[in-house]
Every structure is written in C-alpha cells, then in structure tokens.
Amino acid sequence: DLVKDEDLEILADLGAGNGGSVTKVWNKKRGCIMARKLILVDAKPSVRKQILRELQIMNDCNSPYIVGYYGCFLVEVHVGVVMEAMDAGSLDDICRKNGAIPINVVGKVAEAVLRGLMYLYDVHRIIHRDIKPSNILANTKGEIKICDFGVSGELINSIANTFVGTSTYMSPERIQGAPYTIKSDVWSLGISLIELATGRFPFQDSNEATDSEGEDSDEEEQTHDPDPTLPVSFRRPQLPEKSNTTPKAKKSKKAGVSLGGGGHTMSILDLLQHIVNEPAPRLVSRKRKFPEEAQLFVEGCLDKDPAKRSSPQELLASEWITGSTMTPADLQEWAKSLAGSTET
C-alpha cells in the first residue's frame, strides 16, 4: 500500500533545491521515518495527474544503489514524493560540513553511482540526467544511493518551464544541445568526484582557473560568510537566476563560499562557455596526492568527446574500483564518524 500525505507528520527540514523542498517525516501508519519531497508544479490538473502516473515507475526501481520510493500524491500546487530518508544526508551537505571526502570513500561513491546508473539504464532504460553531489545520499549503515532521476517526462517539462534546470555539472555536449545519454551522466559523475575529493567545485573563476590550481583549500578553511548579495557568481549557478527568495537562495548563499571575497566571479554563461571550450578539469590538488588510478578514472569520465568518454561498464572494470580495499564496515565507520548529521 502506498503512502498518503495524511499518514505523515512533519519532523524537520532536510533541505531545499531547485523547485523542491525536502522534509523529514514520521509515518504514523508504518511507524518509521521517511523523507517527503514537495515539487512545485505549475501545470494544469491533467498534466499533474500524468506526472503521478509516470512516477509509478519508481515502484519498480529496486536496487541497493537507488533511494527507496514509497509513494506520491498531489498537495495543493505541489507533487509530493515520499522516499527513504538517508540519515547521513547528501554528499553535498557532508562535504560542506566535513570538508573533502577521503579518496577511498570517493571510490566507493563512484562505484555506487555507476551501479545505480547501470541499474536504471539496463533494467528501466532510464537516464538519470541530474547526477551531482546533492543527489547522492548516504546513511549511517554505510550505504550510498542516488535519487532524483528523470522518470517522468512531464515532470521534467514542468520543472524546466518554471526553473530551467541547467546545472554546471552538465556535459559539454548537453550544454550544446545534444540529447542526454548515459555518457552525460558519466561526465556529471566525474565533476562530482573532483568536488568531493578536493572539497571544492572544479570550475573556478577564470583568473584562478588559468592559474591551474590557485589555492586548493577545503570548505572548512573558509568559514567566513559569503556575501549574500553576490549576484550571479554562485559556485553552482542555475539558469535563469531567480531572486534570492527562491528555496535555492538559502543554499546558494552557502554555495558561494569557495568564491568568497576574491572579487573575481564568473557569470553563468561564461561558466558554461568555459566547460565547452576549455580542457576538462582533472583530479589534482596542490595539497593532496591522489592515487594515479583515481586520476585515470576521472580522466575517463571527463573526455569532452562523449564517444571517447568511458562507459559505466568500463569504469566499473577500472583499477581504482576493482582494486579498492575498502570494506562495507569501513564505509559504515566513515558514515558514522561524520560531523553534524542531518538530525535537527
């Protein structure tokens, strides 16, 4: 039996993103904690009902690498989606609170994302379309899973109409209008892995970027508040830029950290142009030495030519993944050690 909104008691805010907000809820009927996402869908009733029908595919998505799905419904102007609550939060939050993630853990993240992507594609012919650290979640059992994949064409359309989900994890060919393929997700994975391993988003302001690695500092070392009035110079901008009253605003403020104070900022269009025209970023850091297998893996993800870019199968067979010595117990230990759980 699927979850209904009236079964749910609100416990706490888990976060807000592009057109959605996520709440930790208590399911009275089942006696367990879940996560409820509300997505603003400005569309006519027939479209909203179609979205609910399309979301039903999530019922059949069962994989240890996919966040569990419990049901969906309409709530006023929103579509509600109830899913498994992941108690260590998103890797984006983890990285912000704890700084760069140990490279052996990042390897396990890469493996989980690839297995999740392959499951979605091989079993359901679904392409994720939005791989980024905030859509990779962890729990204190040491599990890593992906969420927010593009199951509903109508939902993708409706969100696109209100927010336009252009993100800077997008591959060069997608920026140039080519259709999504699983290789576009591989690119987004590569960008995400660099961000997790170094603690900072790889596309910096152009001055810094040509400096190769300016100062490769962790988030934790730049704890000063970014200027909340910064216009379009967020670390992870979205198109088009909405006013600071959108749900994203809270997050964008935090996301501005790594550009803080420098005064050099890259506009969104400059950034997208940079992704298309400049060499792809690499897994390098002045402060850390990454294993060569990890660097090669990321290089495989970030070939600008999708035809030459590695496939998920090839990446899973690579040395970095097959040679990992990290056990499930190690992963659990890492997840449990994290500072500032999503518990509020």
Annotated binding site for ATP: 37
Q: Does 192 bind Mg ion (CB under 5 A)?
A: no
Find the shortest distance in angstroms from Cβ 137 to ligand ADP. Answer: 5
CB 202, CB 281: distance < 8 Å = yes
Mark residue 125 as left, alpha or beta (left: phi above 0; alpha: psi -120 to 50; beta: remaining). Answer: left
Q: Does 93 bind Mg ion (CB under 5 A)?
A: no
130 is catalytic: yes
Nearer to ligand ADP, 180 or 264 (CB): 180
What is the Cβ-side half-sphere exposure of residue 234, based on CA atoms within 13 angstroms?
A: 22
> Which of 86, 103, 136, 275 lies at the binding interface for ligand ADP (CB under 6 A)?
86
Q: Does 89 bind ligand ADP (CB under 6 A)?
A: yes
Q: Does 219 bind ligand ADP (CB under 6 A)?
A: no
Q: Which amino acid is at 38?
A: L
CB 9, CB 16: distance < 8 Å = no
Show Cβ contacts of residue 89 under 8 Å, excluding neighbours closer than 6 positions: 14, 15, 137, 138, 341, 342
> Which of 92, 143, 205, 303 lies at the binding interface for ligand ADP (CB under 6 A)?
92
Q: Under rule CB under 6 A, which residues in 53-82 are in contact with ligand ADP? A: 67
Helix (H) or strand (E) holding 70: strand 69-75
Provide the pairing of β-strand 136-138 with 8-17: unpaired
List, edge to edge, every strand of the sheet that includes 8-17: 8-17, 20-27, 32-40, 78-84, 69-75
Nearer to Mg ion, 17 or 172 (CB): 17
Q: Binds 18, which of Mg ion, ligand ADP, none (CB < 5 to 8 A, cut-off by type)?
A: ligand ADP
Nearer to ligand ADP, 18 or 188 (CB): 18
Q: How many CB atoms lie within 10 A of CB 300?
A: 18
Mark residue 213 as left, alpha or beta (left: phi above 0; alpha: psi -120 to 50; beta: remaining). Answer: beta
Find the shortest distance in angstroms from Cβ 167 to ligand ADP. Answer: 8
Q: Under rule CB under 6 A, which residues in 12-41 are in contact with ligand ADP? A: 14-18, 20, 22, 35, 37
Candidates 130, 148, 185, 205; catalytic one = 130
- Beta-strand (E) ranges in 100-222? 136-138, 144-146
Q: Under rule CB under 5 A, which residues in 122-161 are in contact with Mg ion? A: 135, 148
Residues in contact with ligand ADP by CB under 6 A are 14-18, 20, 22, 35, 37, 67, 83-86, 89-90, 92-93, 134-135, 137, 147-148, 342
Residues in contact with Mg ion by CB under 5 A are 135, 148
Active site residues: 130
